[in-house]
C-alpha cells in the first residue's frame, strides 16, 4: 500500500499518545507514511488509506472524543483497513486476561462490527500517581483496585505495529 496511514488516538495523560507514537515509528521504519494525530485534531479521512485508532480506557470506557470520532466517521472507516487498540489495564499479566476478555467498551460493539477492523488490541496502561487528581486516585485504589505504574509492554506494542505494517505493505 503506497498511501498514507493515520495513527490517531485519545489520551488523557499522554500514555496512549506514546503508544500511538511508537506505532507510527514502527510504520515509518517499515518505509510507510503515517501521520500521528490526536483524534480531536482529525478533520477528515480523505487521503488516508488506513486508520489505526486507539484510546485510553478509564472505568471501562474509551475517551469521549474517540467514541465520537468512531461514530462520526463510521461509514468512511468501514471502507478502509482499520486497526483499533485500547490502552488501560494495569497490573501484571496479559491485558486481555486482566479485563476478562474485554477488548472494547460495550457501547462500541455495534459500530465496530459494522467497521470490521482487521484487529483489536488491548495494551497495558500507565497510571502515573503524580498526574491523576484526587478523585481519580481514590477510584483507582478503591473502585477498580488496580495498581499504579507503567504496565505498557513495548515489545508487544512493537510486534503488533509490525504486523500492521506488514498488512499495509501487502496491500
pLDDT digits (tens, 9 = 90+) for 64-90: 999 999 999 999 999 999 999 999 766
- pLDDT tens for each residue of 121-151: 989 878 767 776 677 767 666 666 677 778 8
Let me know: does 39 contact 8? Beta carbons within 8 Å: yes
- C-alpha 94, offset from chain centre: 16
Q: How confident is the model at residue 46 (pLDDT cuts 50, 70, 90)?
A: very high
Question: What does the domain layout of the chain look like in residue ranges?
Answer: 4-169
Helix (H) or strand (E) holding 61: strand 61-62
Reference 39, options 27, 26, 53; nearest CA is: 53
Tell me what pLDDT residue 89 has: 67
pTM: 0.87
- Whether the CB-CB separation of 27 and 49 falls below 8 Å is answered with no
pLDDT: which is higher, 85 or 98: 85
Q: Is 144 buried (19+), middle (13-18) or exposed (0-12) by CB count in 10 A?
A: middle
Q: Are 119 and 111 in contact (CB under 8 A)?
A: no
pLDDT class of 1 with cuts at 50, 70, 90: very low
- As its CATH architecture, domain 4-169 has 3-Layer(aba) Sandwich (3.40)
What average pLDDT does the structure give for the chain?
87
Amino acid at each position: 500500500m503506497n498511501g498514507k496511514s493515520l495513527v490517531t488516538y485519545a489520551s488523557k495523560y499522554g500514555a496512549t499518545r506514546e503508544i500511538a507514537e511508537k506505532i507510527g515509528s514502527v510504520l515509518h521504519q517499515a518505509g510507510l507514511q503515517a501521520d500521528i494525530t490526536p483524534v480531536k485534531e482529525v478533520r477528515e479521512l480523505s487521503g488516508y488509506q488506513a486508520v489505526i485508532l486507539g484510546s485510553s480506557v478509564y472505568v471501562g470506557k474509551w475517551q469521549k472524543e474517540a467514541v465520537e470520532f468512531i461514530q462520526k466517521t463510521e461509514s468512511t472507516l468501514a471502507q478502509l483497513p482499520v486497526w483499533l487498540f485500547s490502552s488501560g489495564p494495569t497490573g501484571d499479566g496479559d491485558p486481555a486476561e486482566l479485563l476478562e476478555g474485554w477488548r472494547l467498551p460495550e457501547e462500541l460493539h455495534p459500530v465496530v462490527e459494522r467497521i470490521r477492523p482487521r484487529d483489536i488490541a488491548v495494551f497495558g496502561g500507565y497510571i502515573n500517581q503524580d498526574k491523576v487528581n484526587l478523585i481519580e486516585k481514590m477510584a483507582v485504589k478503591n473502585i477498580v483496585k488496580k495498581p499504579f505504574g507503567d504496565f505498557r509492554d513495548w515489545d508487544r506494542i512493537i510486534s503488533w505495529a509490525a504486523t500492521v505494517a506488514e498488512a499495509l505493505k501487502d496491500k
